[in-house]
Amino acid sequence: MHIRQLITRRDCFTRMGAGLAGIAAGSLLARETHFDVRPRQPHFAARAKRVIFLFQNGGPSQVDLFDPKPELIKRHGQKPGEGYVNTVDIKKTGMWQGSPFKFARHGRSGAELSEVLPGLARHADDIAIIRSMVTTHSNHEQAIWNFNTGSIQPGRPSLGSWVTYGLGTENQNLPAFVAIMNPKGLPVDGVRNFSNGWMAPVFNGFPVRAEGTPVIDLKPAGPEGAAAERLDLVRKLNQEHLLAHPGDLELEARIQSFELAARMQVAAAEAMDLSREPAPMHALYGTEDAEAGVHARQLLLARRLIERGVRFVQVLHNGQPWDTHRNNEKGHREIARRTDGPTAALLEDLRARGLMEDTLVIWSGEFGRTPMTEGNDGRDHHKFSFSMWMAGAGVKAGVTHGATDEFGYHSTENIVSIPDFHATVMHLLGLDANRLAYQNGPREEKLTDVHPARVVREILA
């Protein structure tokens, strides 16, 4: 089927000019790959090929999970000295609050972990803990934007978008960047956690659910043959329309999205079907557990996706599960109970399949929590120190990097900023954060923007 349009001589020359401009623009954009996710070579040899990002939104408490502070326990109930205040609201500054949890050393590395993380403790020799993280804002929204995009201002592309822009993806029948949501809802600031910002829409995180129907309306209606013919007709119409609009990146990205959706009807149905996993695998993750089952299904799905060539998978909680403004002890016990077992299962599963060799696993929240109380027994947001861990490809396993002061208030040794973290992730993927740029109008944009950033080589194998 063809679509013909009657054009004047003037229209002919006008369109020829636009076509030549489109060819020139296309030649430039072919190198910058602004609108496709075909596999691309990294800047240098990569240690990691793919990423699973376990985003613990809300702010896990560093002094209750990864950074034991005997002096804080000793000073429990005392008023903090000068310079130790609640940075969210100085009037909320409470008393020093020692952790209610016991810490112990684990593995050959002797990594110190809280009693609420027994599953992760079994993998103490597989992870690199960073105790000296800092960020620039104490509000959820700005801190989440900062951690996910590199800026406290909204509207920039997320880390997953930058990775897929730089490397593309290995499986053209599945999205390059997938965000696995909790069925109860999205984290603070919703879809901005995995937004493409001002990048082409093809780099946006594709949302899926970990239970029920992962992707709504994935299965086409009507007979199979009719659906195929309909898709073929739409493809022809799209291509003829594109010929009339050369160089239109938004249009090309939209057409590619439609075509990806068509291909996904087969590939995604298989990849996201957890019933295909054997019973022992469901038992390992705990998918039927009343408390941990949701997160278990998220992580099992994450493994299935990266196993099939998806480049970047971000796993999201609902609401603010680590945000313990009240009942800090109860809150951390509950969220650890829901997440620790499945996280340990993921690490075990990846290692057994040989996927840890080229998969980077990241576990972090957007900031930490105050070593002093908020109210009677809570902890407020804290930007001056927090802990995270990484594991897998290129990461030096069994190390603890950086340190905080005796109260866990300030990061004091080998401080790691958010730009440092981003530069390190990109380095593991074979990308130089200073070289990878996206032309956004007149400005050449980078993940780390204008901020100084160094690769944290101390945690690299």
Domains of the chain as residue ranges with CATH = 1-32+222-265 (no CATH), 37-215+272-459 (3.40.720)
262 confidence band (pLDDT: 50, 70, 90):
low
Instruction: Give burial (CB, 10 Å; 0-12/13-18/19+) of 307.
Output: middle
**Distance between CA atoms of 100 and 328, rounded to whole angstroms?**
9
User: What average pLDDT does this structure show over 352-356?
Assistant: 97
- DSSP letter for 314, please: E
224 confidence band (pLDDT: 50, 70, 90):
low
User: What average pLDDT does this structure show over 355-364?
Assistant: 98
Looking at residue 220, what is its pLDDT? 59
> With the C-alpha atoms ordered 381, 383, 385, 389, is the resulting torsion angle positive or negative?
positive
Looking at residue 222, what is its pLDDT? 60
Looking at residue 362, what is its pLDDT? 98
187 confidence band (pLDDT: 50, 70, 90):
confident
- Assign 246 to helix, strand or coil: coil
Kindly report which listed range (152-156, 181-185, 417-421) carries the lowest average pLDDT score: 181-185
Looking at residue 238, what is its pLDDT? 73
50 confidence band (pLDDT: 50, 70, 90):
very high
Looking at residue 397, what is its pLDDT? 96
The DSSP string of 382-443 is ESS-EEEEEEETTB-TTEEE-EE-TTS-SEEES-B-HHHHHHHHHHHTT--TTT--EEETTE
Kindly report which listed range (39-43, 79-83, 97-101, 224-228) carries the lowest average pLDDT score: 224-228
Q: Which two tokens stand for residue 381?
A: 């947001």
User: What average pLDDT does this structure show over 166-182?
Assistant: 93
Distances (CA, A) of 45 to 49, 63, 359, 394: 10, 37, 14, 11
Looking at residue 412, what is its pLDDT? 98
Q: Give yes or no for a contact between 55 and 187, defined as CB atoms under 8 angstroms apart.
A: yes
Higher pLDDT, 31 or 193: 193
User: What average pLDDT does this structure show over 18-29?
Assistant: 39
- Assign 340 to helix, strand or coil: helix
**Distance between CA atoms of 95 and 73, rounded to whole angstroms?**
11
Higher pLDDT, 213 or 407: 407
**Distance between CA atoms of 33 and 26, rounded to whole angstroms?**
9
Looking at residue 29, what is its pLDDT? 42
Mean pLDDT of the chain: 88
Looking at residue 314, what is its pLDDT? 98
